[in-house]
Amino acid sequence: MVGTNTALGWQVATWAAANAAALQVKYVIFAGQIIDFREPTPAWHPCRDPASSCAQNHFNHVHISSPSSTAARLPADGAAAGPVRFGAAQGAGHRDARPSELS
């Protein structure tokens, strides 16, 4: 959670995007913006459906979607990719965005 600290949110979101290959990130959402690494040319853009979770629910936290097994492959000390902290329960209160919400 970044709360109202949008500068921190963008710092986390851009770090996740810059390390997407190493972390096997599918997409990152923050502040009504998304970057989807499953697209041929990933780039930040506004969430296209204003009524979607993508557009409405990711202002106080950064949503990073990756395969569930990614956390198990990261080094415990975070040396390879920098410090990474995962929530206690995977997917708690969240689901992967539907393709129609992303494009």
The DSSP secondary structure of 2-66, one letter per residue, reads -TT-HHHHHHHHHHHHHTHHHHT--EEEETTEEEETTSSS---EE-S-TTSHHHHS-SSS-EEE-
The pLDDT-based confidence of 82 (bands split at 50, 70, 90) is very low
What does the alpha-carbon distance between residue 4 and residue 95 come to, in Å, rounded to a whole number? 23
49 within 8 A of 95, measured Cβ to Cβ = no
Q: What is the pLDDT of residue 50?
A: 87
Q: Structural domain tally of the chain?
A: 1
**Predicted TM-score (pTM) of this structure:** 0.67
> Is residue 92 assigned to a domain?
yes
Q: Residue 23 sits in which domain range?
A: 6-102
> Is residue 1 assigned to a domain?
no
- The pLDDT tens digits of the residues spanning 30-77 come to 999 999 999 999 999 999 998 888 889 888 999 999 876 444 444 454
> Is residue 21 assigned to a domain?
yes
> Is residue 22 assigned to a domain?
yes
> Is residue 31 assigned to a domain?
yes
22 phi and psi, to 5 degrees?
A: -65, -35
What does the alpha-carbon distance between residue 93 and residue 63 come to, in Å, rounded to a whole number? 11
